[in-house]
Chain A
Amino acid sequence: MTQFKAWLDALLATTTFDEWLVVYLKSTALSHWVVNSQWVWPIAETLHFMGLALLIGIIAPLDVRLMGFMPRVPIAALKRLVPWAVAGFLTCLVTGALFFAATPDQYIRNESFWLKLLFLAIAGANMLLFETTQRARAVALKPGADTPAAFKAIGGVSLVSWLMVLYWGRMLPFIGGAF
């Protein structure tokens, strides 16, 4: 009961949403589990790196194809590997959410973290733009054909924004000072 009251008092003492979020997340069993275990963090990091390799390894060739290189590769065929990239992304999303939930104070005021999310949003919006406006043209494009300017732009934006996601992720400890 006193523990509960201390927990409630700590939550009520917060004045902003991000403060509240940090205090709340750090009070959860999940956070205690991750922070107190010697293994969870490095295992989750390993999965996060495997996920990023899978995601970039599949999306980068697709981007490069959209930019007009490797013209003999049918875009439709490359797109059939995208579910693997999605699997890589989900692996990163789950492990990333775990890092945030366990030690939110390392991220919430960290500019690298917000820049990472910004480029994640750009990459996502860019992909959505492609799927909603260019999908039919992409599937119909003959192998060997050069790509339209819209494909080149979207492919370029995708490649750069995923690399920026990786860049700001790696800068978390150095710019903004996590860990």
Chain B
Amino acid sequence: MELLAALEGSAFSTFLRESISIWAYPTVLMLHTVGLAMLVGLNTTLDLRLLGFGPGIPLATLEKLFPAMWIGFWLNTITGAMLFAMDPINKGMTLIFMSKLALVATGVLLIVLLRRSVYGRGADTAMVTAGARTCAVLSLVVWAAAIATGRFMAYV
């Protein structure tokens, strides 16, 4: 709690909270949405392919989506940390924020499992396993819940 208070009082947090510049809070929030579209959007595309939609898309080529998903992930980790730093005492210890972190962690773990399960034997022998399909379904559910908790954090 003292740590959170120290964070909240830091010059960086105060700048993010009080600056009226378009490059402060609005841009951080906007980039958080871009990162969401990259991470969740591209993961959804991969999930749909694994669940049998767009069957003509070669699995091997979709491995290229992973770097873009990771860019989205890091973008949101950084911008998310900044949004947290703005208001750590109010947001930090709430159930809904903890739920969101747990959901994001699960979503990211599923990406790792998915990649191992589909591409673990090399891109050219990529195949859809039953495990990968399970991961794909879980990932759709987990990301939907992560988005919901993120949105509701602004209202509860």
Contact = CB atoms under 8 A, between A and B. Distances in A.
Contacts of B57: 73-74, 77-78, 80-81
B45 A58 contact: yes
Interface stretch (A1-9, A47-55, A120-128): A47-55
Contact of B54 (A53, A56, A80, A175): A80
Contacts of A55: 41
A70 B151 contact: no
A117 interface: no
B41 A49 contact: no
A74 B49 CA distance: 14
Interface in B37-90: 37-38, 40-45, 48-49, 53-58, 60-62, 64-65
A60 B45 CA distance: 10
A170 B56 contact: no
Interface stretch (B6-14, B26-34, B110-118): B26-34
Contact of B34 (A46, A81, A143, A166): A166
Nearest to A74: B56
B36 A72 contact: no
B45 A41 contact: no
Contacts of B56: 74, 76-77, 80
A57 B155 CA distance: 26
A84 interface: yes
Contacts of B60: 72
Contacts of A42: 151-152, 154-155
Nearest to B148: A46
Interface in A158-175: 163, 166-167, 170-171, 173-175
A60 B71 CA distance: 14
Given A49-B33, A72-B60, A73-B61, A54 B44 contact: yes
Contact of A58 (B41, B144, B151, B154): B41
Interface of A is mostly: helix
Contacts of B4: none
Interface magnitude class on chain B: 35 or more
B127 to A, nearest CB: 17
Interface of B is mostly: helix
B48 A84 contact: yes
B41 A73 contact: no
A81 B54 contact: yes
Given A42-B154, A57-B45, A175-B22, A77 B147 contact: no
B26 A171 contact: yes
Interface in A127-168: 143, 163, 166-167
B43 A50 contact: no
A99 to B, nearest CB: 13
Contact of A61 (B33, B42, B53): B42
Nearest to B149: A46
A54 B54 contact: no
Contacts of B33: 49, 52, 166, 170
B44 A57 contact: yes
Given A46-B151, A73-B57, A74-B56, 6 more contacts: A49-B147, A50-B144, A52-B37, A53-B36, A53-B37, A81-B48
